[in-house]
Amino acid sequence: MPVSDSQFTRMFEDVLTLSKVDSSQSVAILKSHYSNERTVRAAMDAALRLGASAYIVELPSFNHPKAMGNDMTAYCGDTALTGNLAAQRALEAADLIVDTMMLLHSPEQEQILKTGTRILLAVEPPEVLARMLPTLQDKQRVESAAKVLSEAKSIVVQSGAGSDFRASLGQYPTVTEYGFADAPGRWDHWPSGFLFSWPNEESAEGVLVLDVGDILLPFKNYCRERITLEIEKGFITSIHGGFEAEYLREYMVYFNDPEVYGISHIGWGLQPRAQWTAMGLYDKNDGMCMDARAFEGNFLFSTGPNTEVGGSRKTPCHMDIPLRNCDILIDGKAVVNAGKIAG
C-alpha cells in the first residue's frame, strides 16, 4: 500500500534519530536525476525537523560504456563522483550523507568514510523502507551474530540441492548492516539486516548449487533451474547447467576480466521482515531488491570486488546470489539449519 508523504517523513525522522542526527549535525543529501524525489524530500524535511543543517549535492548521471541495465549494482567502481573533488569535499563536510544515488563499491565512498562522515544509502521504494523500518532490535540481532562471525576461522555451507562449500576466515573484517549509520565512518543501508565477511584469499573451495527459487542479482531473477558453480582457490572455475547457467556464464565473460570470478563477501540474512517473495511484486527498476539480500536464513554469496575491505580486486561485475534452504556452519557450529536461523 502507498506510503503518505507525512508518514515517509516521520520514518526518516526515526532513522535519522537512530543515526545520531540532531541540531549539532550537518546532513548532506546526495542525489541524481534518477533519485526518488519523494525520498529526497522526506530526508530533507526530516533533517530540518531534527534541527540539523541540511543541504543537497546533486550530480549528473553517469553511465559507463560497458554497463548493462539500469540496476545500480550492474556496474561497480566508477560513479558520477569519480574525479569530482569539489563535490567530494562538500560531502566530506557533512556529519551524515543520505545517499539516494549509490556510491557503493567506489573509492570515493571509502575516502569519505575515512574522514569520519557517516553514509546511509536509501534507494528502495518507500513501501519497502516502511516495511523494514530499522529498530534497535535489528542492530542487536545483527551484532550478536557478528560476534560469532568476527571470531570465526572457517565457514561450511551445504544444502540438499548439492552445495558443499568451505572457506577459511579471519583475513578480512566482518561487516554488519542493520539499517542506520550511528558511528563515525559507518556506512549502512536502509533497509537491511544481515552480515558478511570475505574468505581468506585462495581458501574458498567446493560447489555451490543454485536451486530453483534462488535469486540472481542484479538480474533480479528467480532461478527456474539449477545452476552449479565449481570453486577452486577462491575463484569460480566452472558454471554449468541449462540455459540460466549459460546466461550467467556469458554475462560474466562480457566483462573480459578474470577477477569477476573471485569470491567476494559471504554471510547470511537476519531480517524477519524481509521477504523472499517480495521481488516478484516490483518492477526491476524499483530499487536494488534488498528483500532478497536480507531475508532471514539465506546464504548470501557474492562475486567480484573486495576493495571496500582493503582487498585488491577492483572489478565492475558484482553478483549477489541469495541461496535458500542451506546449512551454514561457523567453526563447525550451525548458525543456519536448512534456511532457518539456529537457536
Boundary-marking domain end, from 69, 95, 123: 123
Report the pLDDT value the prediction gives residue 69, as an integer from 0 to 100.
Answer: 74
The answer to whether residues 184 and 119 belong to one domain is: no
The answer to whether residues 239 and 101 belong to one domain is: no
Residue 61 placed within a domain: yes
For the segment 42-63, the average pLDDT, to the nearest whole number, is 95
Total structural domains in the chain?
A: 2
Rounded distance between C-alpha atoms, residue 299 and residue 258, angstroms: 24
Report the pLDDT value the prediction gives residue 249, as an integer from 0 to 100.
Answer: 98
How many H helices and E strands in the chain?
Answer: 8, 20
The answer to whether residues 174 and 91 belong to one domain is: no
The answer to whether residues 283 and 234 belong to one domain is: yes
The answer to whether residues 113 and 176 belong to one domain is: no
The answer to whether residues 296 and 153 belong to one domain is: yes
For the segment 87-91, the average pLDDT, to the nearest whole number, is 98
Rounded distance between C-alpha atoms, residue 83 and residue 59, angstroms: 12
The answer to whether residues 175 and 286 belong to one domain is: yes
Q: Which helix (H) or strand (E) holds 119?
A: strand 118-121
Can you give the CATH number for the domain in which 110 is found?
Answer: 3.40.50.2300
The answer to whether residues 82 and 185 belong to one domain is: no
Task: Say yes or no to pLDDT of 46 above 80.
Answer: yes
Residue 22 placed within a domain: yes
Task: Specify the 3-state DSSP secondary structure of 54.
Answer: strand
Residue 217 placed within a domain: yes
Rounded distance between C-alpha atoms, residue 40 and residue 36, angstroms: 6
Report the pLDDT value the prediction gives residue 209, as an integer from 0 to 100.
Answer: 98
104: nearest Cα among 120, 117, 116: 120
Question: What pLDDT digit, counting tens, does each position of 203-259 carry?
Answer: 999 999 999 999 999 999 999 999 999 999 999 999 999 999 999 999 999 999 999
Report the pLDDT value the prediction gives residue 64, as an integer from 0 to 100.
Answer: 76
Boundary-marking domain end, from 102, 123, 144: 123
Residue 270 placed within a domain: yes
pTM of the model: 0.95
The answer to whether residues 49 and 94 belong to one domain is: yes
Residue 155 placed within a domain: yes
Boundary-marking domain end, from 68, 90, 123: 123
Task: Say yes or no to pLDDT of 174 above 90.
Answer: yes
Residue 147 placed within a domain: yes
Report the pLDDT value the prediction gives residue 7, as an integer from 0 to 100.
Answer: 97
Q: Which helix (H) or strand (E) holds 136?
A: helix 136-150
The answer to whether residues 20 and 65 belong to one domain is: yes
Domain membership of residue 85 as a residue range: 5-123
Task: Say yes or no to pLDDT of 71 above 80.
Answer: no
**Does the N-terminal peptide bond of residue 218 adopt cis geometry, omega within 30 degrees of 0?**
yes
Task: Say yes or no to pLDDT of 24 above 90.
Answer: yes
Q: Which three cell numbers stand for residue 86?
A: 569539489
The answer to whether residues 118 and 198 belong to one domain is: no
Report the pLDDT value the prediction gives residue 330, as an integer from 0 to 100.
Answer: 98
The answer to whether residues 112 and 210 belong to one domain is: no
Residue 307 placed within a domain: yes
Residue 336 placed within a domain: yes
Question: What pLDDT digit, counting tens, does each position of 289-335 carry?
Answer: 999 999 999 999 999 988 888 888 888 899 999 999 999 999 999 99
